[in-house]
Amino acid sequence: MIEKTLVSLEEAIAIVLDNCPSLACERVPIGAALHRGLAENVTARREHPPWNNSAMDGYAVRSEDVADASTSQPVVLNVVGEIQAGATATQVVNRGEAIRIMTGAPTPAEADTVVCVEDCDRTGDRVQVKYAAKRGDHIRLKGEDITTGQQLLTAGTTLSPAALGVLATAGYSSVLVRRQASVSVLATGDELVEPGEALGPEQIINSNSYSVSALVRDSGARCLTLPSARDNPDDLKTKIAQALQADVALVIGGVSMGKYDYVKEVLEGLGCRFKFWRVAVRPGHPVAFGIVGSGRDTRLLFGLPGNPVSCVVGFYQFVRPLLRKMMGHETLFLPEVEATLAADFRKKAGRTHLARATTTFRDGRYHVQLAPQQGSGVLTSFIGANSLAVLPAPQTTFSAGEVIKVQLLPE
Ligand code: AMP
Ligand code: MG
């Protein structure tokens, strides 16, 4: 019986990832590819720099002319021309000559060195070079950054701002990435009203739709936030059916053992095949994962707990890795570091605790301090926290000074 089965955090993550489809690829302009999962190996179509060029504003010279220059014995050269970025180096630099050159301008073939403008004194057509420049100084060599055919990026890379610049430099105006997942967010509960709406005495403001939708967008997926559903089978059925239009549906609340928690039966009615229903984790124990439909119409669904902390933690553990895998990212999980625990902590055996925490790097190592309030309704504990401390299921006592694993949260 699936509802009796309590899977471990690790098992649950493995089940989610095992059932992960890969989304189709699409070619997008590089300007639209930030943080997308690259779906092809990229080799350079062109070299960079395309020619030797100056790294400084200065004078293109021959190194043998300036090898002995010094402040007390400057070398005087005749300035025979000027090259700006975008211009062609047509003039020749003969012995005893210099050409004024700007950053990025091609260096004339005979000039093997650039001396910085700050280290020279110019008078009319003459320039005094006051230090001994070495051969090759301030010249960026053809192909020193990228050679044609060089492997630059591999499929699975998360495209960073710098990677987009590299793509542009290497001759790409578009790139193959995985399509973005569409994710629907459906909060459930009779007690919910929207921010700004009149609040009855027994009502609370729907916060989960806002935190979870933001997490979806932060993961690089497209988010469809639905109006929240009431705790009755009809409304749930209608709204869950809408939620299942997306690749992944996140139904929040109504998944625990409450009398009015109808989400599970409605989902079963819609043909959902649950892979797990409860996970040995705290917070976020009543978290469900299931599959609806088949073939090209397959939809994945998470039932996340309504407690505001639990649904955020559940998102980070299960939903974010799934979305990243679907969208073609090689790195699925939050970065993890080992950190020294600041104070003793006790818990019951059986569940992995993911405690909101502040992790800092000091004296060559990470230190982690758990937030004082760990209640699953205390969302404010995330403010200022930058991490989740991983306290393994079997362990009950943790001592100050002990080294534990910590997941670092994105900003
Ligand atoms: P549930 O999972 O539906 O049993 O809800 C657990 C707790 O989370 C209850 O205290 C709910 O009032 C609260 N809760 C459920 N949904 C939301 C929501 N969208 N925003 C804020 N709190 C919620
Ligand atoms: Mg509820």
Q: Which ligand is nearest to the CA of 190?
A: 2
DSSP-based three-state secondary structure for 187:
strand
pLDDT higher than 90, residue 166:
yes
d(CA 120, CA 59): 9
Residue with tokens 């700004």: 196
pTM metric for this prediction: 0.94
Question: Atom of ligand 1 at shortest distance to CA of 228?
Answer: 19
Ligand nearest to the CA of 192: 1
In this structure, which ligand is nearest to the CA of 228?
1
CA of 42 to the centre of ligand 2 (A): 48
d(CA 59, CA 53): 12
CA 254 / ligand 2 centre spacing (Å)? 4
pLDDT(89) > 90: no
The answer, yes or no, to whether the previous bond of 283 is cis (omega within 30 of 0) is: yes
Non-local CB neighbours of 194 within 8 Å, separated by 6+ positions:
205, 206, 228
Ligand nearest to the CA of 310: 1
Confidence of residue 258 (pLDDT cuts 50, 70, 90): confident
Query: Which residue from 186, 192, 226 has its CB within 8 A of the most atoms of ligand 1, so it is best to mutate?
Result: 192
Q: Tell whether the model's pLDDT for residue 19 goes beyond 70.
A: yes
Would you state the pLDDT for residue 106? 97
Minimum CA distance residue for ligand 1 atom 14: 306
CA of 250 to the centre of ligand 2 (A): 14
Over residues 292-330, the pLDDT tens digits come to: 999 989 999 999 999 999 999 999 999 999 999 999 999
> What confidence tens digit (pLDDT) does each residue in 260-290 have?
889 999 999 999 999 999 999 999 999 999 9
- DSSP state, residue 131: S
367-394 tens-digit pLDDT: 999 999 999 999 999 999 999 999 999 9
Instruction: Give me the amino acid identity at 171.
Output: G
Nearest CA to ligand 1 atom 10: 307
pLDDT band at 257 (very low <50, low <70, confident <90, very high): confident
Cβ within 8 Å of residue 154, ≥6 positions away: 38, 41, 42
* Residue to mutate (ligand 1; options 185, 204, 315; most atoms within 8 A of CB): 204
Q: What is the predicted pLDDT for the residue at 260? A: 84
What CA–CA distance (Å, rounded) separates 285 from 280? 6
- Has residue 161 got a pLDDT over 70? yes
CA of 306 to the centre of ligand 1 (A): 4
Residue 319 phi/psi, 5-degree rounding, is -75, -45
**In the numeric block, which tokens belong to residue 364?**
């060559």
The C-alpha atoms of residue 219 and residue 133 are separated, in whole angstroms, by 50
Helix/strand/coil for 116: strand
What is the rounded CA–CA span in Å between residue 366 and residue 36?
30
Q: What's the 198 CA to ligand 2 centre distance in angstroms? A: 20
Helix (H/G/I), strand (E/B), else coil: 181: coil
In the predicted model, is pLDDT for residue 221 greater than 70? yes
Is residue 65 scored above 90 in pLDDT?
yes
What's 323's DSSP letter? H
pLDDT value of residue 296: 87
Pairing of strands 120-123, 126-129: antiparallel
340: CB partners within 8 A, 6+ apart = 365, 366, 367, 368, 401, 402, 403
**pLDDT confidence of residue 4:** 54
What's the pLDDT at 1?
Answer: 40
Mean pLDDT of the chain: 96
Residue 182 Cα, ligand 2 centroid: separation in angstroms? 24
CA of 189 to the centre of ligand 2 (A): 4
Share of the chain above pLDDT 90, in %: 95
140, 101 contact by CB (below 8 A): no
Cα separation of 168 and 373, whole Å?
48
Q: Which residues line ligand 1 (CB under 6 A)?
A: 187, 189, 191-192, 204, 206-209, 252-256, 258, 305-308
Residue 255 CA: nearest ligand 1 atom is 2
Q: Kindly tell me if the per-residue pLDDT of 2 is higher than 90.
A: no
| Identity of the amino acid at 403 | V
Ligand 1 atom nearest residue 258's Cα: 4
pLDDT at 336: 98
How many angstroms does the Cα of residue 231 sit away from the middle of ligand 2?
7
Smallest CA-to-CA distance from 189 within 214, 201, 213, 207 is with 207
Ligand 1 atom with least separation from CA of 305: 2
Q: Ligand 1 center to residue 249 CA distance, Å?
A: 17
Cis peptide bond prior to 308, omega within 30° of 0: no
Neighbours of ion ligand 2 (CB under 5 A): 189, 253-254, 306
The answer to whether the beta carbons of residues 301 and 239 sit under 8 Å apart is no
- Is the Cβ–Cβ distance between 83 and 102 less than 8 Å? yes
Which residue, judged by its Cα, is nearest atom 17 of ligand 1?
Answer: 306
CA–CA separation, 151 vs 132, rounded Å? 38
Q: Which ligand is nearest to the CA of 251?
A: 1
Atom of ligand 1 nearest to the CA of 252: 16
pLDDT at 59 over 70: yes
Tell me, in angstroms, the distance from the centre of ligand 1 to residue 215's CA. Answer: 17
The ligand with the least distance to the CA atom of 258 is 1
pLDDT-derived band of residue 79, with 50, 70 and 90 as boundaries? Answer: very high
The tokens describing 313, both together, are 């933690």
The answer to whether the beta carbons of residues 39 and 176 sit under 8 Å apart is yes
Using alpha carbons only, give the angle 243, 279, 277 rounded to the nearest 5 degrees: 45
pLDDT bucket at 86, cuts 50 / 70 / 90: very high
Sign of CA dihedral 348, 351, 357, 359: positive
Residue found under tokens 């993890």: 336
Q: Which residue has the tokens 């790097």?
A: 361
Q: Which burial class, exposed, middle or buried, applies to 349 when counting CB atoms under 10 A from its CB (0-12, 13-18, 19+)? A: exposed
